Each structure stands twice: as structure tokens, then as C-alpha cells.
Structure 1
Amino acid sequence: MIAALLGKAGSTLVTGLVGAAAYDGAKRAVGAGVVREGAVAATAWGLRGKRRVETGAEQLRLTSGDIVAEARERVGEQAPPPGAHEAHDHQH
């Protein structure tokens, strides 16, 4: 019975030591800025990707505007000036 009790106590002690070592390792990693550095790097990649998407969307908008203008020219329509579709009912 005492051997079983000592066995369980030893097992609990080893588990506690492993847990404490893992906690200390995680604490050092956070303290050293490893986690923060990873978050900053991931955010930077996200911002770069966002800029590329925005650039592509703007290029697509400009290209489609050129295509519509050329199509209107071919059918004999005059393209409305930019902003002509916006309501502007008040006086200045």
C-alpha cells in the first residue's frame, strides 16, 4: 500500500515538473517576443496581400471603364462625364 502511494506521488511529481517546465518555456517565448514577432509578420503578410488585391481591383475597374467607353463609342453614344450619374439637386 505504501509502495502504491509512493508510486502515485512520484507520478504526480513528474507530471508537475513537466508542466512547470512547459509553462516556463512558454513564458520565456512570450517574454522574448517570439509570439509577438510571429503576429507582426502574419499581419504584414496580410497587409501586403490586401494591397495587391486592392491594386488588382482598381486595375480591373479602370479596364472595365475603358471597355465600356470604347463600346459606347462604337455604337455612337457619347460617354457621360465622370460623376454625371450622381444626384446633385442643390445650388452652390
Structure 2
Amino acid sequence: MPGHGFFTKAATTLLTGLVGATAYEVLRKAVAKAPLHGTAVTAAEWGLRGTRRAEEAAESARLKLADIMAEARERIGEEAPTPALTDIEDHEH
């Protein structure tokens, strides 16, 4: 029966399609009911908090490295350079 294999594959494909369509409809309805604005705000809040923590960690690491470099320069008798400051009066708009 050469047609039996074809019908088996067709039935399997049809069943897979029906399951996929049903899952899509359930998900679509769930998303329609979800408070998208609140979810977006929460996601943005987490992103901002993560960014701020990363900035704090980077600044802390920079300061620790500067302390280590200053101490190393001091040990070899080299004078540590003063922190760079920009001249505010030369700033042009």
C-alpha cells in the first residue's frame, strides 16, 4: 500500500499544525490579557538597575586600579601624576 505512508505523513503534519495553531491561539490570548505596559516598565527598571550596578562596579574597579598604580609609582620613587582636570574657561559653545 503505497498510499498508506503518504496518509500517515499527511496526518502527522496535520496534527502538528493543529497543535501549533492551538498553542499560538492560547499564547495570543494570554498576551492580549497581559499588562504589557507594566511588564515593559518593569523590564526597563531592571535594565536601568543593572546598568547602574555595572557603572558602580566599573568605577570601583577604576578607583582600585588607580590606587594600585599610585602605590606602585610611590614604591619606585616616581611621583604620581595629578588627576586630569579640564579647563572650564576654555570651553566654547
Moved runs in structure 1, 4+ residues, more than 3 A? Answer: 25-28
- AA aligned to 1:45 is W
Q: Provide the C-alpha distance between the structure 2 equivalents of 1:77 and 1:61, rounded to a whole number of angstroms.
A: 20
- C-alpha change, 1:27 and 1:81, in structure 2 (3 Å) is closer
User: SS state of the match for residue 50, structure 1?
Assistant: helix
Aligned match for 1:29, one of 19, 33, 56 = 33
Q: CA deviation at 1:57?
A: 0.2
The residue aligned with 1:59 is 60
Identity %: 47
Structure 2, unmatched stretches of 5+, are 1-21
Task: Give TM-score, length-normalised by structure 1.
Answer: 0.57
What whole-Å deviation, never above 9, does each CA across 1:12-45 have from its counterpart, x for those lacking one? xxxxxx9xx97xx579637xxx011000001100
- C-alpha change, 1:43 and 1:27, in structure 2 (3 Å) is closer
Task: Give TM-score, length-normalised by structure 2.
Answer: 0.56
Q: CA deviation at 1:83?
A: 1.1
CA radius of gyration, larger in: 1
Q: Give the alignment's Cα RMSD to 1 decimal.
A: 2.8
Structure 1, unmatched stretches of 5+, are 1-17
- AA aligned to 2:43 is A
The residue aligned with 2:40 is 39
> Is residue 50 of structure 2 the alignment partner of residue 49 of structure 1?
yes
